């Protein structure tokens, strides 16, 4: 009973994505009443995809597919999920957070979608983002590629509860307590009901978004931009 903690890596590489998928599968097999996702890095909830994982087109496609599986497991979790965001969340980290039922965040946390700097789209996380925020807010966050503070994320719908940094642990415990009260059998039925009510069901949207993401990471210009950054330190935001 109680909660199942899932630690998130600072970066999502092929290896750490696989570890995340395995952790989610373990949570699903447990009898925990609530899943809690927290960043392992003291300075980040999760900074999204490790660019070295998309530097090779084929490896990038595999990583994209496994990340889609992680999002699928979160979206269809048989128990309520809580994201505890103590610091910055970038790219895929924002998507993981958005896929959770309740997001508790520090007032010092921030969010950003910097993928556009490299010609990459936040395609796979968009279905989750659009369950929380308006298309305009999602578009603005994607186009600016800069960090938005906790107050903006809260007003936009990405953060559900804000907490002073020193009270974040207490806020997490309260969130777990609140969500552990729901009958476990009601969770799956509630998810089915919500997915049915959505204009675009999550699964078809994620499937299409995964195809777009796979095409994007294989794009020659994206590969060139990523290679310049990794091999020569040429940052696209200075161009």
Q: Is residue 172 part of a domain?
A: no
Q: Is residue 76 part of a domain?
A: yes
Q: Is residue 175 part of a domain?
A: no
Q: Are strands 81-85 and 161-163 parallel, antiparallel or unpaired?
A: unpaired
Q: Is residue 96 part of a domain?
A: yes
pLDDT at 200: 57
Give the pLDDT confidence of 117-176 residue by residue, as tens digits.
999 889 999 999 999 999 999 999 999 999 999 999 999 999 999 999 999 999 999 999
Is 37 in a helix, a strand, or coil?
A: strand
Q: Is residue 77 part of a domain?
A: yes
Q: Is residue 100 part of a domain?
A: yes
Q: Is residue 30 part of a domain?
A: yes
Element (H, E) at 64: helix 57-75
- The one-character DSSP state at 120 is -
Closest to 100 (Cα-Cα) out of 21, 184, 17, 38: 38
Q: How many independent structural domains does the chain possess?
A: 1
**Which domain range does residue 211 map to?**
3-164+183-238
Burial of 232 (0-12, 13-18, 19+ CB in 10 A): exposed
- CATH number, residue 197: 3.90.226.10
**pLDDT tens per residue across all 239 residues of the chain:** 689 999 999 999 999 999 999 999 999 999 999 999 999 999 999 999 998 887 787 888 889 999 999 999 999 999 999 999 999 999 999 999 999 999 999 999 999 999 999 998 899 999 999 999 999 999 999 999 999 999 999 999 999 999 999 999 999 999 999 999 998 888 988 887 776 656 556 777 778 778 877 787 788 887 888 888 888 788 777 65
Give the pLDDT confidence of 15-25 residue by residue, as tens digits.
999 999 999 99
Closest to 43 (Cα-Cα) out of 89, 74, 94, 81: 89
Q: Please state, in angstroms and rounded to a whole number, the distance separating the CA atoms of residues 122 and 212.
A: 10
Q: Is residue 105 part of a domain?
A: yes
CB neighbour burial string for 72-100, b if at least 16 within 10 angstroms, e if fewer: bbbbbbebbbbbbbbbbbbbbbbbbbbbb
């Amino acid at each position: 009973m109680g909660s199942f903690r899932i630690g998130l890596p600072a970066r999502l590489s092929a290896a750490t994505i696989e570890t995340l998928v395995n952790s989610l599968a373990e949570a699903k097999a447990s009898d925990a009443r609530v899943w809690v996702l927290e960043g392992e890095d003291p300075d980040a909830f999760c900074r999204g995809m490790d660019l070295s994982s998309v530097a090779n087109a084929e490896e990038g496609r595999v990583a994209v597919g496994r990340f889609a599986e992680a999002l699928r497991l979160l979206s269809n979790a048989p128990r309520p999920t809580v994201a505890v965001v103590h610091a910055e969340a970038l790219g895929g980290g924002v998507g993981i957070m958005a896929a959770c039922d309740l997001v508790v965040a520090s007032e010092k946390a921030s969010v950003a979608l910097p993928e556009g700097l490299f010609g990459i789209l936040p395609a796979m996380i968009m279905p989750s983002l659009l369950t929380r925020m308006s298309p305009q807010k999602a578009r603005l966050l994607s186009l600016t590629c800069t960090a938005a503070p906790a107050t903006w994320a809260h007003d936009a719908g990405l953060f559900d509860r804000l907490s002073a940094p020193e009270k974040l642990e207490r806020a997490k415990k309260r969130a777990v307590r609140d969500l552990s009260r729901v009958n476990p059998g009601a969770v799956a039925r509630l998810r089915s009901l919500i997915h049915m009510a959505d204009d675009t069901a999550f699964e078809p949207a994620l499937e299409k978004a995964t195809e777009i993401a796979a095409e994007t990471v294989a794009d020659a210009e994206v590969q060139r931009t990523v290679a310049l950054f990794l091999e020569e330190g040429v940052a696209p935001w200075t161009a």
